[in-house]
Structure 1
């Protein structure tokens, strides 16, 4: 697979392949340890982290959607189609096996 063919602005080829490896590894772990899910629910759900500190957590709005689309098209992973957003202070953060954090500026964890 050529990185230039599937280039996503703002992501280097090595980082992109690393992310796909994490998704693949997580699927193996999740399928072995989790109960049977409903057929319409994706095996892998990814949420964008909404954080404090003045950074623009919502920057590059299409990056996560493009990553999920690429993972579905180029692998056998059952990745969700819709991006979700979660705050780190929410209990919902524990329902996502993967979190996606991006942006510029300060990131504050409290």
Structure 2
């Protein structure tokens, strides 16, 4: 019965014409609340530069709440542990399969926890590296070399991984890039303006792709 109700609400609550975003709150003790200025700054950048009309009052939703179905786009970040209960995993799976989009941005240290917990959400799917010619790298601004490097972390090349349903990218995991730090207020990390601009442009690509697909 719960599944039927969830699917019912998913069909009528994820309004694909709606331009709403939210931060995903998860269990496990990880700092889901990190980068507090990041998503608000990205939303303002998108509204000013790619003709979106996103509500700039950013809300927070929990992974297991039916409220996630109000938002076509969810953003998730942090540094540490992530845990999805079985109800969380089912809720996220229904959300993504019915039109929602989740962007997970590793703020350094999430990767081993995220990859393990995503197996609860999609036991039969795996994260795969997204090719550089994918539309997400050119939906608003052109990134011919793929995901930009914003912060050094371990000095590895930035990677964009995804989970697909048929040909639609439904979940994006950005790793060794740290886009969210580049979206934050300039005084937080003192990144050069050109670095912040790259992060914001790539973020705009993600938003545009999510809303159009």
Normalised-by-shorter TM-score class: 0.5 to 0.7
Identify the match of residue 28 of structure 2 among 50, 53, 76: 53
Identify the match of residue 104 of structure 1 among 67, 79, 91: 79
Identify the match of residue 88 of structure 1 among 41, 59, 63: 63
Q: How far did 1:81 drift?
A: 1.0
Q: How far did 1:30 drift?
A: 2.6
Q: Larger % of helix: which?
A: 2
Higher relative contact order (CA 8 A, sep 6+): 1
Q: 1:30 — aligned with what?
A: 16
Computed over aligned residues only, the root mean square deviation of the Cα atoms, in angstroms, reads 1.4
In the superposition, the TM-score normalised over structure 2's length comes to: 0.32
Q: How far did 1:80 drift?
A: 1.1
Q: Larger % of strand: which?
A: 2
Q: How far did 1:77 drift?
A: 1.0
> 1:76 and 1:100 mapped to 2: Cα distance?
20
* Count of aligned residue pairs for this structure pair: 71
Instruction: Note the residue ranges of structure 2 that are not aligned, 5 or more in a row.
Output: 1-14, 86-213
Instruction: Note the residue ranges of structure 1 that are not aligned, 5 or more in a row.
Output: 1-28, 32-42
- Structure 1 residue ranges, 4+ long, deviating more than 2 angstroms after superposition: none
Q: How far did 1:67 drift?
A: 0.7
> 1:98 and 1:44 mapped to 2: Cα distance?
8
> 1:94 and 1:30 mapped to 2: Cα distance?
10
1:99 is paired with a residue of what secondary structure?
strand
